[in-house]
């Protein structure tokens, strides 16, 4: 564990050896304890029922930070002792494990799995497991199975069931690991409670990242075409690119796909990992830059910007400079100079 985790795990005993605290970051109970019994009582309330025992020489202490993330839950767990745990099935949620320090040896239906830094492991719902863990600091993410299955279908997966799996260190694991580490830093480092819309967005990104990792891990599984409403994802991407010079409101695009504007916004977070507004802004800025870089005459910046629906030229220049590190006039001047 990190020095900070060790420091927190050495928390003083109060009464029965347990202190339940309110995180200063969010109004949700966390646990800090040196009592295995009290720790077990707490975890049995929030996770699947289980039995546990200490197997190593180190004394037991545990710190759990539990944060609601929309319908999912983010958990940061630090335990100072080696443990053996046997769980009953969790009928509603799948679980994703990513140790930050230490490791877990997990058995699911007689098959061995491993979770370690850079090596996440996924446990589907309705599945019991046994695991032994070293002293550990780990992320534990609970995801509603129904939401994950819907996300998988939106990514083209035809599977009706989820299976236990692990991602070994490598390209297939790296994107999932990076996102979980980013999520941990975002939630654990917040000094004030994150707004609910931020938590819902993080959950959307979490579901999308996990679904993509599962689909990428099983390329042999039959896939359908990812859809946004009645349109294929790539079909919608091409349609938007062809209509950048027209007014593209959320209502207009939603009507094109046959879904509501709210569902459209969620779909963009899921498939493109950004909002519809940001997606359109980036595409239009790239289109303007493309025209400026091929232009061989000075002037015309306002005309090009207005054609791509930038009606506030001051804000356009600011957005352009933020994205490309230079003003539109600098791009055009260089293009004209190179064309002479």
DSSP codes joined into one string, 103-140: -EEEEETTEEEEEBTTB-EEE-TT--EEEEE-SEEEEE
- Widest CA span of the chain, in angstroms? 83
Residue 298: helix, strand or coil by DSSP?
Answer: coil
pTM summary value: 0.62
Q: Which fold has domain 3-217?
A: Jelly Rolls (2.60.120)
Q: What is the average pLDDT score of the chain?
A: 84
Domain range summary for the chain, segments of one domain joined by +: 3-217, 228-339
Q: What is the mean pLDDT of residues 123-142?
A: 94
* Kind and range of the H or E run holding 50: strand 50-54
Query: The tokens of 229 are what?
Result: 């409403």
pLDDT tens profile 28-45: 447 999 999 999 999 988
Q: What is the mean pLDDT of residues 47-54?
A: 91
pLDDT tens profile 54-74: 998 889 999 999 999 989 999
pLDDT reported for residue 16: 43
Alpha-carbon gap, residue 35 to 250, rounded angstroms: 53
Phi, psi of 226, rounded to the nearest 5 degrees: -60, 135
Higher pLDDT, 81 or 224: 81
Q: Which residues contact 329 (CB under 8 A, 6 or more apart)?
A: 301
- Cβ atoms of 45 and 31 within 8 Å: the answer is no
pLDDT reported for residue 339: 66
pLDDT reported for residue 171: 66
Q: How confident is the model at residue 170 (pLDDT cuts 50, 70, 90)?
A: low
CATH numeric code, 228-339: 1.10.10.60
């Amino acid at each position: 564990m990190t020095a900070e985790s060790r420091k927190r795990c050495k928390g003083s005993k109060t009464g029965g050896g347990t202190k339940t605290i309110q995180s200063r970051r969010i109004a949700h109970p966390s646990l800090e304890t040196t009592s295995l019994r009290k720790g077990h009582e707490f975890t049995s309330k929030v996770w699947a029922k289980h039995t546990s025992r200490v197997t190593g020489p180190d004394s037991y202490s545990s710190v759990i930070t539990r944060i609601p993330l929309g319908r999912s839950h983010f958990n940061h767990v630090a335990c100072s002792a080696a443990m053996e745990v046997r769980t009953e099935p969790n009928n509603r949620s799948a679980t994703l494990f990513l140790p930050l320090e230490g490791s877990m040896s997990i058995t699911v239906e007689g098959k061995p799995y491993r979770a370690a830094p850079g090596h996440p492991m996924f446990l589907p719902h309705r599945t019991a497991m046994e695991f032994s863990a070293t002293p550990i600091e780990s992320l534990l993410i609970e995801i509603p199975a129904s939401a994950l299955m819907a996300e998988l279908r939106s990514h083209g997966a035809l599977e009706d069931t989820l299976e236990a799996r692990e991602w070994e260190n490598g390209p297939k694991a790296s994107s999932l690991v990076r996102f979980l580490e980013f999520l941990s830093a975002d939630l654990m480092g917040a000094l004030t409670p994150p707004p609910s819309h931020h938590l819902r967005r993080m959950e959307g990104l979490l579901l999308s990242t996990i679904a993509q990792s599962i689909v990428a891990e099983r390329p042999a599984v039959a896939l359908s075409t990812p859809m946004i409403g009645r349109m294929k994802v790539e079909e919608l991407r091409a349609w938007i690119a062809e209509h950048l010079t027209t007014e593209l409101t959320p209502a207009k695009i939603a009507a094109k796909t046959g879904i509501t504007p709210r569902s459209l916004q969620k779909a963009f977070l899921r498939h493109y990992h950004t909002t519809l507004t940001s997606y359109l802004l980036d595409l239009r800025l790239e289109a303007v830059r493309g025209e400026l870089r091929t232009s061989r005459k000075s002037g015309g910046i306002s005309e090009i910007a207005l054609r791509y629906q930038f009606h506030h030229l001051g804000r356009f220049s600011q957005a352009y400079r933020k994205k490309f590190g230079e003003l539109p006039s600098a791009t055009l001047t260089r293009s004209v100079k190179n064309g002479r």
